[in-house]
Amino acid sequence: MRLVVLGDLHFFQLGVWPWQLFSKRLLGQCNLWFHRRRHFQPSLWPRIAARVEELAPDVLLGSGDFTTTALPGEFAQAREAWEGLVRTAAPRLGAYVVPGNHDRYTYQAHRRRLFEDALAPWTATSWPARWSLGEGVTVLGLDPTRPNPFNASGVLGEQQLDCLAKALATLPQSECVLVLCHYPIGTPPDLPEEAEGHGLQDKEALTRVLAESGRAIVYLHGHIHWPWRWVPPNAAKVVTVNVGAPMLTSATFPLGQGIAELVIKDGGVRVHRHVMDVDGRWTVSPEE
Ligand SMILES: [Fe+2]
Ligand SMILES: [Fe+2]
């Protein structure tokens, strides 16, 4: 089974009505106007979508932050892009997405359920989501996002953690389990530690639930815009994969941070990163 995972797409719109700025969005739009717009390149989308189509995945996953300040216009772009991708790539076992903190950027966007409306065919209404793909593979989706006027943090809470623990305990031992959640559960030692106001507040509790399940788990996430693969020291059977931000350009990633491909075969999972080099050629780095 082949899966493709897309991280922080962050579609944006530069023009907003003045009344749309009476919220945390004022900060987000200023950041967009003066900084983000130079680095996030939506013009890369057609090439990313073409690559996904070429890979012919059986399953498509999205790890959240489809938008920048959760504007209706950004959700319309995200919907059009994702719907088009699902149509052309036609993943035979379905497409599934979880929200990111930017998709619940304001209380109004959350109250009006803009994320749920825009991505309704591919997301859940209650969390954790349990998506049984068949062929011995289950994706458990988590939603720790909530509107937050001061920072970018998220929290799962006891109920979602309990349900996750129960799901992990009741799935057959032979089942291959992937957990899809926007936030990381830690950062590799060669990277700066995530600021408290940016991260998942109960990430230690989540790591404990994953580790205590005793299962081998692939934990897929985004949020910190930098791809990595890392095994937390306190959860030796959990492999975390930061899938990166496909349309975020920098000196290291001149044409975006690429996409992650997972190949599940004979009970094992291989992760490959597909990244475009400076000439627009896709390079693949195999990882165990
Ligand atoms: Fe993001
Ligand atoms: Fe995020």
**Integer Cα distance of 257 and 229 in angstroms:** 14
Cα(204) to centroid of ligand 2, in Å?
A: 18
Using the mean position of ligand 1's atoms as its centre, give its distance from the Cα of residue 10 in Å: 7
Determine the structural domain holding residue 181 and report its residue range: 2-287
Beta-carbon contacts of residue 257 (< 8 Å; ≥ 6 apart): 7, 225, 226, 227, 244, 245, 246, 248, 275
* CATH number of the domain to which 126 belongs: 3.60.21.10
CA–CA gap between residue 21 and residue 57 (Å, rounded):
39
200 alpha carbon to ligand 1 midpoint, in Å? 13
pLDDT at 15 over 90: no
Its pTM stands at: 0.95
The widest CA-to-CA distance across the chain, in whole angstroms, is 55
Q: Which residue has the tokens 């996953």?
A: 61
Give me ligand 1 centre to Cα 171, in Å.
31
Per-residue pLDDT of 259-288, as tens digits, reads: 999 999 988 999 999 999 999 999 998 754
Q: Which two tokens stand for residue 265?
A: 């075969």
The count of domains in the chain is 1
255 or 266, greater pLDDT: 255
In the numeric block, which tokens belong to residue 60?
């498509």
